């Protein structure tokens, strides 16, 4: 569910303090974007693209895959799978990320 290599790499690149800030901003933005997703929106492909990139940055590979599938469908003019299916994947990914961060970095 979490690509820890990606998380470790990002944390090493920007440092622990900046990582915590960036991760918090990403999680809030993803949460806000998910809350506003509308499968009828003309901006759906762009929103899914943003979500995909944010998920990849935070190592949320499962969420990124679902967003990529939806983005591809939206860009091709095909029906997009229900965007509501992203919320439980995000919630589970967020919980796994937060739990893993606490285990990996507070024990050190």
Contact between residue 7 and residue 97 where contact means Cβ atoms under 8 Å apart:
yes
What is the count of structural domains for the chain?
Answer: 1
Domain, as residue range, for 15: 4-105
Distant-in-sequence, close-in-space partners of 14: CB < 8 Å, separation ≥ 6: 22
Instruction: Tell me the β-bridge partners of 60.
Output: 2
* Tens-binned pLDDT, residue by residue, of the chain (108 aa): 899 999 999 999 999 989 999 999 999 999 999 999 988 888 999 999 999 999 999 999 999 999 999 999 999 999 888 888 999 999 999 999 999 999 988 855
Cα 60 from Cα 17, distance rounded (Å): 20
The domain that holds 20 is classified in CATH as: 1.20.120
Going from the C-alpha of 82 to that of each of 33, 43, 61, the distances in angstroms are 15, 15, 19
Whole-prediction pTM: 0.90
């Amino acid at each position: 569910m979490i690509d820890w290599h990606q998380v470790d790499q990002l944390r090493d690149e920007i440092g622990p303090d900046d990582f915590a800030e960036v991760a918090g901003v990403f999680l809030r933005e993803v949460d806000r974007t998910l809350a506003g997703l509308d499968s009828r929106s003309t901006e759906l492909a762009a929103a899914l693209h943003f979500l995909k990139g944010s998920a990849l940055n935070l190592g949320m590979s499962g969420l990124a895959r679902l967003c990529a599938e939806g983005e591809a469908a939206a860009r091709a003019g095909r029906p997009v799978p229900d965007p509501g299916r992203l919320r439980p994947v995000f919630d589970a990914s967020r919980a796994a990320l937060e739990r893993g961060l606490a285990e990996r970095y507070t024990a050190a």
